[in-house]
Amino acid sequence: MAVAEPQFDDLYREIILDHYRRPRNRGELAAPSQRVEGVNPVCGDEIHLDLEIGDNTIRDVSYWGHGCSISQSSASMLTERLKGCSIEEAERVMGKVRAMLIDGATPDDEIGDLQALEGVARLPVRVKCALLCWNVLKEGLQQATTAA
């Protein structure tokens, strides 16, 4: 029998690896309005998000933490995609990313680079890696809304 090609190369798409190797918006913000964090106790992945929210807009966002390429690149792409977005748009993007990861929904262009995470949905055990920063974001947005 012919040996199959190694699987999961589509998981590690170049765009993911690029965000993993050259993280965008990594570090702390000078004056975040929200600072939120999340840990995945099972695998130890850790994500911190700094958000600067005002006028219903994510004026700035950064992240730091450690973990696998999926959790870290997901966070990097999150910051890149949402910086400067209205809360409304951020929530729409978040909804689409979650639908893609959790329900396997087909992503559309609105989520940008994040479409590269589509392959993760096929691997339930890694979905939580990709979701981690989005769970953290959700909490951050909730805090912002409550504070407002």
Partner 1 sequence: MINPREIRKDFPILEQQVNGRPLVYLDNAATTQKPRQVIEALVRYYETSNANIHRGIHTLAVRATEQYEAVRGKTAVFLKASHAEDIVFTRNTTEALNLVARAWGDANVHEGDEIVLTLMEHHSNIVPWQQLARRTGAVLRYAGITPEGKLDLDEVRGMIGPRTKVVSVVHMSNVLGTINPVAEIGEMARKAGALMVVDGAQSAPHLPVDIEALGCDFFAFSAHKMLGPTGVGVLWARRGLLETMEPFLGGGDMIALVRQDESTWADVPHKFEAGTPNIADVIAFGAALDYLGNLGMGAVRAHEMALTAYAMEQLSSIEGLKMHGPERADERGGVVSFAMNLAHPHDIATIADGHGVAIRAGHHCAQLLMRHLGVAATSRASFSIYNDKDDIEALAEALEHVNRVFGDGSSRAAI
What are the strands of the beta sheet with 46-54, ordered from one edge? 34-39, 46-54, 57-66
Q: Residue from 23, 38, 67, 107 that binds partner 1 (CB under 8 A)?
A: 67
| By CB under 8 A, residue 15 contacts partner 1 | no
| By CB under 8 A, residue 142 contacts partner 1 | no
- 4's CB contacts (< 8 A; 6+ apart) are none
Question: Count of CB atoms within 10 A of residue 95's CB?
Answer: 13
CA distance 130 to 127: 5
Stretch that binds partner 1, among 39-47, 51-59, 90-98, 110-118 (CB under 8 A): 39-47
| By CB under 8 A, residue 102 contacts partner 1 | no
| DSSP structure string for 68-83 | -HHHHHHHHHHHHHHT
Stretch that binds partner 1, among 81-89, 104-112, 122-130, 132-140 (CB under 8 A): 122-130
CA distance 12 to 16: 6
Q: Residue from 56, 59, 64, 68 that binds partner 1 (CB under 8 A)?
A: 68
| By CB under 8 A, residue 3 contacts partner 1 | yes
Q: Catalog residues that contact partner 1 under the rule CB under 8 A.
A: 3-9, 11-12, 14, 17-18, 21, 41-46, 66-70, 123-126, 129
